[in-house]
Each structure stands twice: as C-alpha cells, then as structure tokens.
C-alpha cells in the first residue's frame, strides 16, 4: 500500500511516500521557510536528489510542486496518482471532536475549519493541504491524524482550567496538547532504547523544539502533562508565538493601548516569540547573529532555554522523578548550542551534558550525557511521517 504523508507545519511541509506495511520510504523531502523569498525545497529518492532555494509563497504552491516532482517523467516515483491508496494528513487541533485517526469527510473538514481559530498557524494550512490533496490524489482515501490524540491520557488535574465548570462541560474549554504525533513517536523510541540498555524508563520528558515548541511529561509511556493547552500558542517561546503570557497584558493592550482583539491575536501568534525578540524567526539566523555579538539574539536564546528549564523542573516534580529527557525536532536534533543552554546547571535533576558528544550529529538515537549522569539526555530524531503512516495503514485495514 502506497501512502503519501503530508505534514504541514506553520512554515514548513514535510512529505514522504511510504510503502506499507514495510515502512519503506520511497521518496521524502521538505519545504521550509514558506512565505520567504529563500524557501528551501528538497526531494529525495534512492536515485535522485533535488535541492533548491526559491520563493514559495504558501502551502498550496508548495504542495503542487511536490506533486509535480512525484510524477515527473525523469525524477518521479509514480506514473499516476491512482497508485496512491491513501494520503495521511497531520492535523494539529482535533478539539473534543476527534480523539483518534479518522477518514476525512465533508463533516471532518468542516470541524477542522471550525478549529482554525484555535490553531491559526496550522489548521488552515492542514485544510489547504487536504483540499489540494483531494484534487491531486482524487482516488485515494484521505485520512486525518490529530496531534491532540496522544494527550487524551492527561488527567483532569492537568487538562482542566480553573474557570467555571460549565466552560468545560458545555464549551469544551480545556488543555488539549499538541505535537502529539512527535511526542508519541520519540517517547516510544526512547523507552525502547532505555529498555535495551536496562536503564530506567518510567519518567521521561520529551522536548520538541522547532518553529513550534512544546514539552511533555510522559509516565509509563502515557502523556500526563503538556506545555500547550487549548491552542498551540502557549508554553515555550516559539518562532513567532509568544508562549506563556500574563492574560492581563491582552486586556491592557486592548483597553489602554487601543489594539483590536484581532491585532493582539496576530501579534501573539505571528509577530512574537523569537521573531518579536530578535527580528528573526529561524533559529539558524538567530544563532549566527548571536555568535557575531547581537545582544538581542543572545538574550532571546537564553530566554528560550530558561523557559524550557522551568518546565523540566515542574514536570520532574509532577512525575516524581526523572529518568531521561529527550530532545527532538529541527532545533532539538540539530542545535547543540540550544541543548547546551538547556542542560547547563541542571545537575540537581541528574542532567550532566557531555559537551563533546553533544556536538556530534547523527540520525540515530544517541546519548549526550556524561556516563555517570543519573538521568539520560537523549537525542531522538522524530519521524512523524512514519507514525502517521502506521496509523493510516491501521485505519485502512481495520
């Protein structure tokens, strides 16, 4: 069964064509920096590698370019879209309507559309991807895999807000959690690795750092707390999102400074975070400028790490222990500098970084802690696409 996986982020698209159940990746690639003049496009098969830098204005243009290459006479891997049996879509927010993987119908698309206001950087891109994929792969079954599903195991003490109860019972206002596909994949792989070396694996904290960032407390393989809540906008500092902020700031901006609610929403989601602090949203740009002495970039990186440290401390308390922390996603896997900032002065939690090993790049699971450290520090490359393919394949066969 050939399955196309489309993983649309707020400023990126990852895609893979996977043969299931063998989990054979026939083709893979990604587009990042969507919306900029310097978008990076990649397309890789066993015999072909294409890398380009070009302007890609939006997700629709990106998805059409991917489809063109998949069926290209010389570089393509399929002759017809009829070869594709299913398309799996990562969808960030499933609200209270979806707690599992589903076939996409008109009603499902409408639910996703209704949830766009809660995930304004993601659900619109997912919906666009679904609509374009329905046109391109018209014979394939379209399947939605929701980021919120993994966090359905959070207890009420973690997901409930201290607001009137009817807002939960009638309006479903609660913490849902996000990046669940990634947190599920890396936590399961981390637990498997720890078991293989006979190391403790009960209490794990997974740290997903990309343009969007989140952190999850995982106990016995289940999500029990998570940094994001009702929408994927709070918690850690992100590329363009502010993360946690005193809600009175919003009222002050509206009532005293004269901002509209729409202005504030746009600012907190698209103009804040690392972009608001530095003028750059991409960590690679921020790190290079920090290395050249840019004080704003240096402070922003320190703020980012400080927020992560605070969550590690609180989650270690919630778990009543810490066996390992796991870094994953674009920044977590590739930025040795951010990992060092986070793990410095964390000996109290048993975290001791091996600076030399931390600098080594690899696509494999690896330890970057000193041998005598009480808690493991792992880098586990995420593969949301394989996780999505597993869930899509299971649904189609069930």
Consult the annotation and say whether 331 binds a ligand.
yes
- Closest C-alpha among 106, 121, 127 to residue 270: 121
Are 84 and 3 in contact by the 8 Å Cβ rule? The answer is yes
Write the pLDDT tens digit of every residue in 340-376.
Answer: 999 999 999 999 999 999 999 998 999 999 999 999 9
With 90 as the cut, is the pLDDT of residue 74 above it? no
What confidence category does residue 119 fall into, taking pLDDT thresholds of 50, 70 and 90?
confident
- H helices of the chain, in order, are 59-70, 106-114, 123-136, 156-159, 166-169, 180-196, 247-255, 261-270, 273-278, 283-291, 295-319, 329-334, 336-343, 355-358, 384-397
Q: Is 366 annotated as a binding residue?
A: no
First-to-last C-alpha distance (Å) of the chain: 14
35 assigned binding-site residue: no
CATH of domain 2-146: 3.30.420.40
The DSSP call for residue 13 is E
Report domain extents, the chain: 2-146, 197-379
Q: Is 106 among the annotated ligand-binding positions?
A: no
Confidence at 241, pLDDT banded by 50, 70, 90? very high
Nearest to 238 by CA among 176, 150, 331: 331
Model confidence pLDDT, tens digit, residues 89-105: 999 888 877 888 999 99
DSSP 48-62: -EEEEEE---SHHHH
CATH 3.40.47.10 is right for the domain spanning 197-379: no
Q: What are phi and psi of 366, to 5 degrees?
A: -150, 150
Indicate which residues carry an active-site annotation.
147
In degrees and rounded to multiples of 5, residue 262 shows phi and psi of: -65, -40
Residues 148-158 pLDDT 10s: 989 999 999 99
Please check if 90 is assigned to a binding site: yes
On average, the pLDDT of the chain sits at 93
- Residue 325 counted as an annotated binding residue: no
Phi and psi at 376, nearest 5°, equal -80, 145
- From CA 112, how far away is CA 146, in angstroms rounded? 10
Band of the pLDDT at 118, cuts 50, 70, 90?
confident
Considering the chain, what percentage of its residues have pLDDT values greater than 70?
100
Question: Does 10 have pLDDT greater than 80?
Answer: no
Residue 214 near residue 178, CB atoms below 8 Å: yes
Distances (CA, A) of 41 to 91, 100, 201, 253: 22, 31, 38, 39
Q: Is 33 annotated as a binding residue?
A: no
Same fold: 2-146 with 197-379: yes
């Amino acid at each position: 069964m050939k399955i196309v996986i489309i993983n649309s982020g707020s400023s990126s698209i990852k895609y893979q064509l996977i043969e299931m159940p063998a989990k054979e990746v026939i083709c893979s690639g990604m587009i990042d920096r969507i919306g900029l003049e310097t978008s990076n496009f990649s397309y890789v098969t066993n015999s072909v590698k294409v890398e380009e830098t070009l302007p890609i204005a939006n997700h629709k243009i990106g998805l059409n370019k991917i489809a063109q290459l998949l069926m290209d006479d010389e570089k393509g891997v399929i002759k017809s879209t009829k070869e594709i049996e299913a398309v799996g879509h990562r969808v960030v927010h499933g609200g209270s309507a979806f707690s599992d993987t589903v076939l996409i119908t008109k009603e499902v698309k409408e639910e996703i559309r209704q949830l766009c206001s809660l995930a304004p950087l993601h659900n619109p891109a997912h919906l666009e991807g679904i609509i374009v994929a329905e046109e391109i792969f018209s014979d394939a079954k379209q399947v939605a895999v929701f980021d919120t599903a993994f966090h359905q195991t959070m207890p009420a003490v973690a997901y409930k807000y201290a607001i009137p109860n009817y807002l939960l019972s009638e309006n479903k206002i609660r913490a849902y959690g996000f990046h669940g596909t990634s947190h599920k994949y890396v936590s399961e792989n981390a637990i498997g690795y720890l078991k293989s070396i006979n190391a403790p694996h009960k209490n794990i904290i997974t740290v997903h750092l990309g343009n969007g960032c989140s952190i999850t407390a995982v106990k016995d393989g289940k999500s029990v707390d998570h940094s994001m809540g009702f929408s994927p906008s709070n918690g850690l500092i992100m590329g363009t999102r502010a993360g946690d902020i005193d809600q009175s700031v919003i009222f002050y901006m509206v009532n005293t400074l004269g901002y509209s609610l729409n202005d504030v929403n746009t600012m907190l989601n698209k103009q804040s975070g690392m972009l608001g602090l530095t003028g750059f949203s991409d960590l690679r740009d921020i790190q290079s400028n920090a290395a050249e002495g840019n004080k704003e970039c240096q402070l922003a990186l320190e703020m980012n790490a400080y927020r992560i440290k605070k969550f590690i401390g609180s989650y270690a308390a919630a778990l009543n222990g810490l066996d390992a922390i796991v870094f994953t996603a674009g920044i977590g896997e590739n930025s040795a500098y951010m990992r060092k900032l986070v793990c410095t002065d964390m000996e109290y939690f048993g975290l001791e970084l091996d600076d030399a090993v931390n600098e080594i790049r690899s696509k494999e699971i690896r330890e970057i802690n000193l041998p005598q450290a009480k808690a493991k520090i792992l880098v586990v490359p995420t593969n949301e696409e394989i996780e999505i393919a597993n869930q899509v394949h299971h649904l189609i066969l069930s």
